[in-house]
A and B are shown apart, each in its own frame.
Chain A
Amino acid sequence: MSNIPANLKYTESHEWIRVEADGTLTVGVTDHAQEALGDVVYLELPEAGRTLAAGEACAVIESVKAASDIYAPVAGEVVESNQAAVDAPESVNADAYAAWLFKIRPDAAADLGKLLDAAGYEAVVANA
Chain B
Amino acid sequence: MSDNHSDAPLLRTPLYDLHVSLGAKMVPFAGYEMPVQYPTGIIKEHTHTRTQAGLFDVSHMGQVFLVGPEAAAALETLVPVDIIDLPQGMQRYALFTNDTGGVMDDLMVANFGDRLFVVVNAACKAQDIAHMQKHLSGRCKVEVLEDRALLALQGPAAGAVMARLAPETAKMVFMNTATVNLVGVPCYISRSGYTGEDGFEISVPADKAEALARELLSHPEVAPIGLGARDSLRLEAGLCLYGHDLDVNTSPVESSLLWALSKPRRADGARAGGYPGADVILGHIANGVSRKRVGLRPNARVPVREGAEIVDADGRKVGVVTSGGFGPTLEAPVAMGYVETALAKVGTQLSAMVRGKPVPVEVASTPFVPQRYYRG
Contacts and interface: CB of A to CB of B under 8 A. Distances in A.
Contacts of A38: 37, 41-42, 228
Interface string B16-37: 0000000000000000000011
Interface string A56-72: 00001011111100000
A64 B43 CA distance: 8
A42 B304 CA distance: 11
Interface in A52-101: 60, 62-67, 93
B368 to A, nearest CB: 15
Contacts of A62: 302-303, 326
Nearest to A39: B43
B301 interface: yes
Contacts of B228: 38, 64-65
Contacts of A63: 42
A41 B303 contact: yes
A42 B355 contact: no
A53 B41 CA distance: 34
Contacts of B36: 65
Nearest to A60: B355
Contacts of B328: 64
A106 B355 CA distance: 26
B303 A67 contact: yes
Contacts of B326: 41-42, 62, 64
Secondary structure of the B contact surface, majority rule: mixed
Given A64-B325, A64-B326, A42 B41 contact: no
Nearest to A89: B301
A12 interface: no
A64 B355 contact: no
Interface in B2-58: 36-37, 41-43
Contacts of A60: 355
B305 interface: yes
A125 B333 CA distance: 31
B173 to A, nearest CB: 32
Contact of B302 (A42, A64, A65): A42
A66 B302 CA distance: 12
A39 B42 contact: yes
A124 to B, nearest CB: 19
B202 to A, nearest CB: 26
Nearest to B43: A39
A81 to B, nearest CB: 15
Interface string B74-92: 0000000000000000000
B232 interface: yes
Interface in A8-42: 38-39, 41-42
Nearest to A65: B228
A107 interface: no
A64 B305 contact: no
A1 to B, nearest CB: 14
Contacts of A44: 302, 355
A43 B249 CA distance: 35
Contacts of A42: 301-303, 326, 333
Of the listed residues A60, A64, A66, A93, the one surrounded by the most CB atoms of chain B closer than 10 A to its CB is A64
Of the listed residues B37, B42, B326, B333, the one surrounded by the most CB atoms of chain A closer than 10 A to its CB is B326
A64 B42 contact: yes
A39 B229 CA distance: 11
Contacts of B301: 42
Nearest to A62: B303
Nearest to A44: B302
Of the listed residues B36, B325, B333, the one surrounded by the most CB atoms of chain A closer than 10 A to its CB is B325
Nearest to A87: B301
Contacts of B42: 38-39, 63-65
12 contacts: A38-B42, A39-B42, A41-B43, A41-B303, A42-B302, A42-B303, A64-B232, A64-B328, A65-B228, A66-B305, A67-B303, A93-B41
Given A64-B325, A65-B36, 13 more contacts: A38-B41, A39-B43, A41-B43, A41-B326, A44-B302, A60-B355, A62-B303, A63-B42, A64-B232, A64-B326, A64-B328, A66-B305, A67-B303
The 9 closest A-B CB pairs, nearest first, are: A41-B326, A39-B43, A64-B42, A39-B41, A64-B326, A39-B42, A62-B303, A42-B302, A38-B41
